[in-house]
């Protein structure tokens, strides 16, 4: 399966009469976009705001971040099974508005989380401060239940990303990158002397506000399975995960999964990246056993020498992470796990809720309990009042001058468990 990603570099976003990309600037017809999102009768009111890198802007509570993409050649469309019809994606060419994003905000539930500061110390902890953001501020109908509200916001973000992505369809990309994975036997034949590596991605799948969708299927109803990494670049996996801002994988993270990119980068040089397995993180302990058994069986079947396992979330998934690690190690396959930590404010406490001596190669995305003070911003996009009820915040978090004292867990993407951030720890 071979996919070309044509990156159209976006360095500014502006409102304009027509939605288009011109000389690196994304122009957005606000009226048209508002009209599109307002078609959903569950949404009472929607506003669109822009936030650029370096501006004194705080966006909160952030639900999802989505990169605009459009399919230019090849079967299917972006977000198959959700926006586009079900069709296998991951081949041909896809254009990407690189440097732009859709950000959704909204009060799905009373307690909140997800801060993106576009400047200041907080901006250093979130990759989304570096993007030209088109922010949807959605107000749902008064009687909308949490399930429907989350879905309405999720769909609004995806629709907006498709709408903006279309603007890149006929634009010549600034750069084209190629990603190809061969059928297993051919890949092994091509690089017989390189260690064979697979990637096991764990998907959040516990319930309301904790879901992930694969080709539109709720991941908690799936068994572990194989997927081509290029399918994910076309939006085969989307986020319905609104909890734990620092270490949830937004749709943007899935589209740009850095583990996939890094494995491709080393493919044919240091390693032979032969495939990818997705598995879930259910609440039912029997499901955990079943899914991790399956991940281990598939790893063995692929005949790999090593796997990278990434986690999403905290607590319950720690058990899945260790089960996956231990069962795969017991097949004689080396593992590296990618996680983050809740190690207390001083970083001295036990980091995970589960552990095993076989989990001896660990990459961490940082300590989510670390405390940070975010200075006031000139402008707030979204809703300010939930800050006192934000995860990682506490009574008195929001000071009179507008500054906030919070744990890193409140910042979107701060300790991302795909490594899409700057925090880590090194042991020597």
Partner 1 sequence: MKTILITNNPLAQKKLSSKVETHFHDVDYTKVLKIARDYIHKGYRLLTHPLSGSVKPNETPYKSLIIQTREQTKIDMDSLLIIEQSLDTTKKFIDNMKTPQWNERIKEDFQTIDISLIESVLDRII
Burial of 221 (0-12, 13-18, 19+ CB in 10 A): exposed
Taking the mean position of all CA atoms in its chain, how far away is CA 210?
13
Which of 79-87, 291-299, 347-355, 416-424 is the region at the interface with partner 1 (rule: CB under 8 A)?
347-355
For residue 350, what is the DSSP state?
-
> Which helix (H) or strand (E) is 199 found in, with range?
strand 196-204
For residue 248, state whether it binds partner 1 (rule: CB under 8 A).
Answer: yes
For residue 244, state whether it binds partner 1 (rule: CB under 8 A).
Answer: yes
* Shortest distance (Å) from residue 313 CB to partner 1: 4
CB closer to partner 1, 208 vs 380: 208
* Shortest distance (Å) from residue 213 CB to partner 1: 15
Q: Which of 105, 126, 206, 272 binds partner 1 (CB under 8 A)?
A: 206
What's phi and psi for 82, nearest 5 deg?
-125, -55
CB closer to partner 1, 238 vs 271: 238
Q: Give the residue among 62, 41, 39 at the shortest CA–CA distance from 49.
A: 62
- Residue 91 in contact with residue 144, Cβ under 8 Å? no
What residues between 315 and 334 interact with partner 1 by CB under 8 A? 315-316, 318-319
What residues between 97 and 116 interact with partner 1 by CB under 8 A? 109-111
The answer to whether the bond into 61 is cis (omega within 30° of 0) is: yes
Size of the site for partner 1 (CB under 8 A): 42
Burial of 186 (0-12, 13-18, 19+ CB in 10 A): exposed
CB closer to partner 1, 76 vs 313: 313
For residue 220, state whether it binds partner 1 (rule: CB under 8 A).
Answer: yes
Within a 13 Å sphere around the CA of 337, how many CA atoms are in the beta-carbon half?
29
* Shortest distance (Å) from residue 86 CB to partner 1: 23
CB closer to partner 1, 86 vs 283: 283
> Which helix (H) or strand (E) is 34 found in, with range?
helix 30-38
**Largest Cα span, the chain:** 65
* Shortest distance (Å) from residue 398 CB to partner 1: 13
Bridge-partner residues for 139, per DSSP?
Answer: 45
Q: Which of 89, 338, 391, 411 binds partner 1 (CB under 8 A)?
A: 391
Which of 65-73, 184-192, 386-394, 418-426 is the region at the interface with partner 1 (rule: CB under 8 A)?
386-394
Whether 246 is a known active-site residue: answer no
Q: Which of 292, 369, 412, 416 binds partner 1 (CB under 8 A)?
A: 369
In this structure, the chain runs to a length of: 428
CB closer to partner 1, 254 vs 267: 254
* Shortest distance (Å) from residue 332 CB to partner 1: 23
Q: Give the residue among 280, 233, 236 at the shortest CA–CA distance from 261.
A: 233
CB closer to partner 1, 109 vs 358: 109
For residue 283, state whether it binds partner 1 (rule: CB under 8 A).
Answer: yes
**One-letter-per-residue 3-state SS of 124-191:** HHCHHHHCEEEEEEEEECCCCCHHHHHHHHHHHHHHHHHHHHHHHCCCCCCEEEEEECCCHHHHHHHC
What's phi and psi for 87, nearest 5 deg?
-165, 145
For residue 69, state whether it binds partner 1 (rule: CB under 8 A).
Answer: no
For residue 349, state whether it binds partner 1 (rule: CB under 8 A).
Answer: yes
For residue 204, state whether it binds partner 1 (rule: CB under 8 A).
Answer: yes
* Shortest distance (Å) from residue 127 CB to partner 1: 20
d(CA 129, CA 120) in angstroms, rounded, equals 10
CB closer to partner 1, 230 vs 369: 369
For residue 63, state whether it binds partner 1 (rule: CB under 8 A).
Answer: no
* Binding stretches for partner 1 (CB under 8 A): 109-111, 146-147, 204, 206-210, 220, 241, 243-244, 248, 282-286, 288, 313-316, 318-319, 342, 344-345, 349-350, 353-354, 369, 389, 391, 394-395, 407, 409
Residues with catalytic function: 242
């Amino acid at each position: 399966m071979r996919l070309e990603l044509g990156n159209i570099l976006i360095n500014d976003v502006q409102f304009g009469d027509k939605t288009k990309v011109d000389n690196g600037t994304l122009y957005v017809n606000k009226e048209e976009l508002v009209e599109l999102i307002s078609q959903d009768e569950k949404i009472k009111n929607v506003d669109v705001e822009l936030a650029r890198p370096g501006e004194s802007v705080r966006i909160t509570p952030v639900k999802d971040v989505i990169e605009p993409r459009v399919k230019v050649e090849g079967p299917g469309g972006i977000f198959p099974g959700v926006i586009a019809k079900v069709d296998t994606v991951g081949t041909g060419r896809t254009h990407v508005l690189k440097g732009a994003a859709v950000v959704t905000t909204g009060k799905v539930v009373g307690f909140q989380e997800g801060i993106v500061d576009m400047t200041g110390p907080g901006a250093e902890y979130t990759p989304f401060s570096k993007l030209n953001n088109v922010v949807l501020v959605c107000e749902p109908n008064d009687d909308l239940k949490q399930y429907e509200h989350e879905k309405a916001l999720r769909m609004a973000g995806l629709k907006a990303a498709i709408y903006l992505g279309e603007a890149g369809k006929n634009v010549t990309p600034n750069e084209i990158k190629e990603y190809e994975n061969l059928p297993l036997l051919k890949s092994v034949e091509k690089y017989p002397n390189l260690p064979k590596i697979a990637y096991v991605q764990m998907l959040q799948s516990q319930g309301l506000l904790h879901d992930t969708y694969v080709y539109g299927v709720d991941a908690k109803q799936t068994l572990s399975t194989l997927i081509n990494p290029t399918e994910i670049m076309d939006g085969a996996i989307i986020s319905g995960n609104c909890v734990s801002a620092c270490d949830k994988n937004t749709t943007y993270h899935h589209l740009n999964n850095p583990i996939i990119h890094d494995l491709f980068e080393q493919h044919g040089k240091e390693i032979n990246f032969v495939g990818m397995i997705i598995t879930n993180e259910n609440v039912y302990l029997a499901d955990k056993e079943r899914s991790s058994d399956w991940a281990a069986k598939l790893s063995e079947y692929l005949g790999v020498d090593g796997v990278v396992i990434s986690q999403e979330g905290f607590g319950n998934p720690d058990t899945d992470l260790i089960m996956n690690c231990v069962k795969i190690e017991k097949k004689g396959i080396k593992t590296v796990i990618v996680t983050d930590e809740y190690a207390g404010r001083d970083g001295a406490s036990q980091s995970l809720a589960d552990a095993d001596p076989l989990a001896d190669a660990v990459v961490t995305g940082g300590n989510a309990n670390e405390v940070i003070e975010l200075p006031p911003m000139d402008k707030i996009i979204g809703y300010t009042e939930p800050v006192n009820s934000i995860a990682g915040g506490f009574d008195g978090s929001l000071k009179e001058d507008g500054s906030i004292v919070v744990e890193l867990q409140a910042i979107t993407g701060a300790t991302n468990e795909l490594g899409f951030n700057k925090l880590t720890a090194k042991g020597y």
